[in-house]
Amino acid sequence: MRENAARKASKKASKRTPKRTPKTAGQSGAGTLPAGHLEARLWLRMLSCVGLVEQDLRNRLRQKFDITLARFDVLTQLGRPPTNPTMSELSHRLMVTKGSITDVVGRLEVAGLVERRRDPHDSRVQRVHLTPAGQELVDVLIPAHHAWISERFGGLGRDELEELDHLLGRMRALLRPEPGGRSRTGGG
């Protein structure tokens, strides 16, 4: 879903935006864009980058492990602390609906990679557990994923990666709502 939106938005932007001469390192070009255009361009570039990396990960996961990105996301979430989350906790971690999680967990259960068990303290609650086969797969998936991501970022130097990490961390902090629901950037 995110990938399709990113691709469409990027295509629309490239059709509307006149081609510019490439900038050399250190040139921002910010002074040449009308107000709001730089922010929109950055947003579209972030979406485009996410879409490109997600598509690459989807292809690699399918080819090497025969699993979808959604199943990978669920498995790797189950492999990190706190382990054995409820369906609601898993849904919250992945920022998707409970219905989506139920479907993916059901498919992983049929594949023998996870199992749902009643919470020992509240029988109304189900917790999702990795099976030994699921844990074994996660133990191989995570290093492969890290290697693929490193490969995709390989064109950037260590200083550039650290700067990008810092800037995106600041942006995320600005976008997270304050207690009471207001964004730190003044919106919503």
pLDDT value, residue 24: 43
Q: State yes or no: pLDDT of 142 exceeds 90.
A: yes
Interacting residues of 87 by C-beta distance below 8 A, sequence separation 6+: 98, 101, 102, 105, 116, 126, 128
Average pLDDT, the chain: 84
pLDDT digits (tens, 9 = 90+) for 9-67: 445 544 444 444 444 444 455 557 777 889 999 999 999 999 999 999 999 999 999 99
pLDDT value, residue 176: 87
Residues written for the chain: 188
Beta-strand pair 114-118/126-130: antiparallel
Backbone angles phi, psi at 183, to 5 degrees: -75, 150
Residue 140 burial (10 A CB sphere; 0-12, 13-18, 19+): exposed
Write down the pTM of the prediction.
Answer: 0.71
Distance, CA of 147 to chain centre:
16
Give the amino acid at 130.
L
Residue 108 burial (10 A CB sphere; 0-12, 13-18, 19+): buried
pLDDT digits (tens, 9 = 90+) for 98-123: 888 999 999 999 999 999 999 889 88
Q: State yes or no: pLDDT of 81 exceeds 80.
A: yes
Distance (Å) of CA 19 to CA 4, 10, 46, 52, 117? 23, 14, 19, 21, 56
Mean pLDDT along residues 68-75: 95
Q: State yes or no: pLDDT of 3 exceeds 70.
A: no
CATH 1.10.10.10 fits 68-152, yes or no: yes
Mean pLDDT along residues 81-97: 91
Give the Cα separation of 60 and 54 in Å (integer).
10
Q: State yes or no: pLDDT of 83 exceeds 60.
A: yes
Q: State yes or no: pLDDT of 188 exceeds 60.
A: no
Give the Cα separation of 156 and 15 in Å (integer).
28
Q: State yes or no: pLDDT of 184 exceeds 70.
A: no
More confident residue, 176 or 141: 141
Percentage of residues of the chain with pLDDT beyond 70: 79
Q: State yes or no: pLDDT of 1 exceeds 70.
A: no
